[in-house]
A and B are shown apart, each in its own frame.
Chain A
Amino acid sequence: MAASAAESARARPRPLSLTWLGVVPFMLFALMFLIIPATLLMIGAFQDPQGNFTLQNIANLNQPTIIKAYRTSIAISAASAFGGALIGFGIAYAVALGRVPRWIRPTMMTFSGVASNFAGVPLAFAFMATLGRTGLVTALLTSIFGFNIYRYGFNLLSFGGLTLTYLYFQIPLMILIMTPAIDGLKREWREASAILGATTWQYWRMVAFPILWPSLLGAFLLLFANAFGAIATAYALTGSSLNIITILLFAQIRGDVLHDPNLGYALALGMILITGLSNGAYIWLRSRSERWMR
């Protein structure tokens, strides 16, 4: 009797503690493999080798190699995000509203699902086989039109070449994000604006574009962060010849090329800030457009 009462007393709080116990592995995992490692880097960015607080690492970021690496990274990410957003939006629009045969849409969506995940080293190989010095397209252009793109300044291992390569996963990502957003434009909005006297251009300027704007800008930011953190494609394509921030950080982790571990942490901190800001803005914009779409 007493034993069972004690047992039930012990048993009563159990469901709750068991519930919390269920999320412990997740929280522990998040701490061990996300939060603490990132925090350690951020702390390291403000420490000197002896562990004292300093802002020197941040100040030391201000050197030509590092500034240039950030610049190039931001430029490539922005260019590929902008191009990807523009072209991806065009294709998403064509697929969703362009009155093309029905089968095109699922085909394009499936392909986009594959291509947006087809990044990294193999993507670099594919573009080398296409637009490298001996690539098929390079060879065809030379033999058919007598036009050697490399003689006219094109180089796959450059800003333009890398941007063109990044577009291969940026455009599909944009298609995947924007097609549902364009689907969200109701036919009645177009009709209501037409019957109120608006032209198609006025409808896009005053209604459709403002409605899509948060999704568009948000998608651009997501694409930007996506390209900014990428490294494998660039590394496989250019080795370490291209000075972008991820390749610099890669070299720093490998061999401390900056001869200052704590400067490496500051480098990483800068990256987290940039991707964090653009992702944060993306999430904020998305919640805004979702509020409208209800």
Chain B
Amino acid sequence: MKRPVIGPWITIILGAIYFLVPLVATFEFSLRMKRGEYSFEAYRVVFGDPNFQASFTYSALIAVAAIIVGVLIVVPTAYIVQLKLPRLRPLVEFITLLPLVIPAIVLVFGYIRMYNSSSWIPLTNSARGTDFLLTCAYVTLALPYMYRAVDTGLRAIDIRTLTEAAQSLGSSWPRILFQVILPNVRVAVLSGAFLTFAIVIGEFTMASLLNRPAFGPYLQLVGANRAYEPAALAIIAFIITWACMGLIQLFGGGRRNDTRR
């Protein structure tokens, strides 16, 4: 059964060209800020921009907060559903899929209606309140990925045996969760965390509509007013995404070694 190998090659090469050309072009463009020579001027300008620093720091902080809140909500739920309340599984899985069904712009529209200044819970009245709302919005966005990562991680270890072993040694429930279960799904939680970070760091719609000084709206603003800096920012954003995915693979690979041992 000989099959010609030429077709697959053409497909892959065309695909690779489509994927790589924008990256190369963007990188080349980002180096053209100084007339007549290639330089990292655009990067220097971007990194030197206080708005860049401020908005990136802000988004990173919100991302970390979203990761913490997400882990605190998802891990106990996934654990309990798997161990004690399997009949809740369809409901919980349905809920975690909802953020894929409801577009982010619709969700934030709902938040604005629900938490506006004249509502019962006027979160948008204060900056802190809106930060909290944005954090929760990002937890929602990342919920499908975080839940799936943790659920898969929990399936991979025998949580029932681990729990019973811990119980027989007299551990309390919170202790079991935080000292026995959490370390064992650390890898899964980290994957979920990096994915959350990758999704959240440049998020535009929610941050913009909630009027927070996040990285996404900053990117958009720079894009509307500058020529070369956006290209540099695109490269930076691509590297951040790549780093997050790379870290997931790195930890994922480590886990495979662990189970073999």
A-side interface residues toward B, CB under 8 Å? Answer: 18-20, 22-23, 25-26, 29-30, 32-38, 40-41, 44, 87, 90-91, 93-95, 97-100, 104, 108, 110-111, 113-115, 117-118, 120-130, 135-137, 167-168, 171-172, 194, 225, 228-229, 231-232, 235-236, 239, 246, 249-250, 253-254, 264-265, 268, 271-272, 275-276, 279-280, 283
Contact = CB atoms under 8 A, between A and B. Distances in A.
A108 B14 CA distance: 13
A172 B241 CA distance: 14
Interface in B70-100: 72-74, 76-77, 79-81, 84-85, 88, 92, 95, 97-100
B114 to A, nearest CB: 5
Contact of B245 (A35, A110, A194): A110
Instruction: Give me the 9 closest cross-chain CB pairs, A-B, nearest first.
Output: A98-B8, A37-B110, A229-B103, A94-B8, A136-B25, A122-B237, A129-B29, A125-B234, A232-B204
Which among A87, A120, A246, A280 has the highest number of chain B CB atoms within 10 Å?
Answer: A120
A interface majority secondary structure? helix
11 contacts: A22-B77, A29-B139, A33-B139, A37-B109, A38-B102, A114-B242, A122-B237, A168-B22, A236-B220, A276-B102, A279-B100
Range for the number of chain B residues in contact with chain A: 35 or more
Given A98-B5, A253-B109, A235 B204 contact: yes
B112 interface: yes
B38 interface: no
Contact of B105 (A34, A108, A111, A229): A229
Contacts of B231: 125-126, 128-129
A124 B21 contact: no
Interface string B141-177: 0000000000000000000000000000000010000
A229 B224 CA distance: 22
Contacts of A280: 101
B101 A275 contact: yes
Contact of A114 (B99, B110, B204, B238): B238
Contacts of B19: 111, 115, 168, 171-172
Interface centre among B1, B72, B102, B140 (most CB of A within 10 A): B102
A93 to B, nearest CB: 7
B136 A29 contact: yes
Given A125-B223, A129-B25, A253 B112 contact: yes
A45 to B, nearest CB: 11
A111 B242 CA distance: 8
A38 to B, nearest CB: 5
Contacts of A32: 136
A171 B234 contact: no
Nearest to A249: B105
Contacts of B224: 236, 239
Interface in B1-29: 1, 3, 5, 7-9, 11-12, 15, 18-19, 21-26, 28-29
B192 interface: no
Given A26-B92, A104-B12, A118 B105 contact: no
Contacts of B92: 23, 26
Contacts of B140: 33-34
Contact of B102 (A123, A128, A136, A275): A275
